[in-house]
C-alpha cells in the first residue's frame, strides 16, 4: 500500500494550527453529516470605491461554478464591473494567462514546469499561485453498488494500462448481481486538471486505459455513474448526487477506510486531497491594479470562503489566506481595512 501523497502532507502541514475547522471526530472518518466551519481568522470583505473594468477568467471546469459564484458576489459590490468566466479545463488556463486573454486562471492542479517556463519566457518572472480552496477527488459508484472501500492499488489496476480489464468481484464485491460484471470506467476529459491529478496520484502517472469514457465537466462522471449500475467514476467532492455513493479509500496506516471530506482533507489522511488554485500575472515590482486586487481580496475573505463551502469544497485557513495575500502585497492593507484604519469603505452596489 502507498503512503500519503505529497499534496496530503502539504495540506496537513498548512492547517496543523487550525484543527477546529471541521466538526466531527477522527474516529468517525468524516461522516456525511460533518459540518464545515470557517476559520474565525478570515476577515470580512470591505468594498472600496473606484473599481471598474472587466474580470476575465479562463481555466478549470471543476472551478467554473466557484468562479461564477465569486463573480456574482463581486458584482454585488461593483455592479458596473463586467465578468467573463470560461471553464474548458485547467490545461487552458496557463495559455490564457500567458497570452493575456484572462487575468485569472483557475486550475484544479498546480501548473507544470513547462507551463511556468513559457510564462517566464514572455514576462521575465513566474505566474503567482494562489491557493483559494481545498478539494477531494472522490471515487463514485452507483447507489446500488455495495463496494465498501477501495485502495489506490486497486484504482491503479482498474483505470491504468498496468491492470487488466476487471470485474466487480475482483475488487471485493460479493453481491451475485455484480459477479463477473465488467467495471464501466468514467473519467474526466484530457484537458481537465482533475484527470491529470488523478493520473499522477492514483495511477502513479501510468496511462489511462483506452476504455475510460471521458466526460466533459466535473459533473459528467458523476452523472454517468448515476445512470450505470456497474460504473465507477472520479470527480470533485462537490458533485455528489442522490444516485451515487462516495467510496472511502483505504490507505496505509489508517485502521479503516478514509472518506473524503473536510476533516480528512485538513488532516492529510485522504490521499486524493488537493488545493484549488487561481494563477495571476503579478510583477512583484508593481502593485496590483484595483480590479484584480479587490477580486483577490474577495476570494480570501470570509464571504469568498463561504462561497467555497456553498460550492461543496473545503475552505482554506486564515494562515493560508494571509500567506497568499502577502505574495501579492495585499496582506497589510487587507488587515488595515479589517480594523478600520485602511481605505474608506463603500456600501455594496454604491
Domain ranges of the chain: 6-134+273-338, 136-267
- DSSP H helices, 39-107, are 64-77, 92-98
What are residue 279's phi and psi, to 5 degrees? -105, 140
- DSSP H helices, the chain, are 6-14, 64-77, 92-98, 113-123, 152-159, 193-201, 219-226, 262-267, 290-299, 302-310, 318-327, 331-338
In sign, the C-alpha dihedral spanning 127, 82, 275, 289 is positive
At CB < 8 A and 24+ separation, what contacts does 31-35 make?
31/259, 34/261, 34/262, 34/263
Distance from C-alpha of 329 to C-alpha of 289, rounded to nearest angstrom: 11
Reading the chain (350 residues) residue by residue, the pLDDT tens digits are 454 454 555 665 665 544 445 443 333 344 443 568 899 999 999 999 999 999 999 999 999 999 999 999 999 999 999 999 999 999 999 999 999 999 999 999 999 999 999 999 999 999 999 999 999 999 999 999 999 999 999 999 999 999 999 999 999 999 999 999 999 999 999 889 999 999 999 999 999 999 999 998 899 999 999 999 999 999 999 898 999 999 999 987 778 999 999 999 999 999 999 999 999 999 999 999 999 999 999 999 999 999 999 999 999 999 999 999 999 999 976 666 666 655 545 544 44
DSSP 100: T
Pick the CATH number of 136-267 from 3.50.50.60, 3.40.190.10, 3.65.10.10, 3.40.50.720: 3.40.190.10
Would the CATH topology of 6-134+273-338 be identical to that of 136-267?
yes
CATH number of 6-134+273-338: 3.40.190.10
- DSSP H helices, 15-141, are 64-77, 92-98, 113-123
List the end-to-end C-alpha distance of the chain, in Å, as a whole number.
57
Q: Which residues, 6 or more positions from 342, have their beta carbon under 8 angstroms from its beta carbon?
A: 46, 333, 334, 336
What are residue 186's phi and psi, to 5 degrees? -125, 140
Distance from C-alpha of 127 to C-alpha of 301, rounded to nearest angstrom: 22
Torsion angle in degrees (nearest 10) through CA of 173, 176, 180, 182: -60
Are 216 and 189 in contact, with CB atoms under 8 Å apart?
yes
Amino acid at each position: 500500500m502507498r503512503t500519503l501523497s505529497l499534496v496530503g502532507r502539504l495540506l496537513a502541514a498548512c492547517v496543523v494550527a487550525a484543527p477546529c475547522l471541521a466538526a466531527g471526530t477522527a474516529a468517525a472518518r468524516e461522516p456525511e453529516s460533518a459540518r464545515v466551519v470557517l476559520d474565525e481568522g478570515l476577515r470580512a470583505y470591505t468594498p472600496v470605491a473606484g473599481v471598474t473594468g472587466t474580470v476575465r477568467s479562463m481555466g478549470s471546469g471543476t472551478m467554473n461554478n466557484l468562479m461564477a459564484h465569486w463573480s456574482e458576489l463581486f458584482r454585488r459590490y461593483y455592479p458596473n464591473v463586467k465578468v467573463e468566466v470560461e471553464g474548458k479545463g485547467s490545461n487552458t488556463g496557463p495559455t490564457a494567462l500567458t497570452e493575456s486573454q484572462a487575468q485569472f486562471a483557475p486550475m484544479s492542479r498546480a501548473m507544470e514546469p513547462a507551463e511556468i517556463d513559457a510564462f517566464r519566457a514572455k514576462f521575465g518572472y513566474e505566474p503567482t499561485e494562489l491557493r483559494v480552496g481545498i478539494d477531494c477527488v472522490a471515487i463514485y459508484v452507483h447507489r446500488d453498488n455495495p463496494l465498501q472501500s477501495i485502495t489506490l492499488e486497486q484504482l491503479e489496476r482498474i483505470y491504468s494500462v498496468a491492470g487488466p480489464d476487471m470485474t466487480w468481484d475482483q475488487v471485493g464485491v460479493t453481491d451475485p448481481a455484480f459477479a463477473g460484471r465488467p467495471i464501466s470506467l468514467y473519467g474526466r476529459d484530457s484537458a481537465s486538471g482533475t484527470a491529470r491529478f488523478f493520473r499522477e496520484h492514483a495511477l502513479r502517472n501510468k496511462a489511462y486505459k483506452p476504455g475510460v469514457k471521458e466526460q466533459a465537466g466535473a459533473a459528467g462522471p458523476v452523472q454517468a455513474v448515476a445512470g450505470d449500475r456497474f460504473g465507477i467514476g472520479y470527480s470533485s467532492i462537490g458533485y455528489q448526487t442522490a444516485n451515487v455513493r462516495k467510496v472511502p479509500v483505504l490507505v496505509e496506516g489508517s485502521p479503516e477506510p478514509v472518506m473524503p471530506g473536510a476533516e480528512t482533507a485538513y488532516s492529510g489522511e485522504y490521499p486524493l486531497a488537493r488545493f484549488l488554485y487561481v494563477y495571476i500575472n503579478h510583477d512583484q515590482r508593481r502593485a496590483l491594479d484595483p480590479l484584480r486586487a479587490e477580486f483577490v481580496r474577495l476570494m480570501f475573505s470570509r464571504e469568498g470562503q463561504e462561497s467555497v463551502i456553498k460550492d461543496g469544497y473545503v475552505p482554506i485557513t486564515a494562515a493560508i489566506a494571509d500567506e497568499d495575500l502577502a505574495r501579492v502585497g495585499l496582506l497589510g492593507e487587507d488587515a488595515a481595512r479589517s480594523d478600520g484604519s485602511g481605505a474608506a469603505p463603500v456600501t455594496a452596489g454604491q
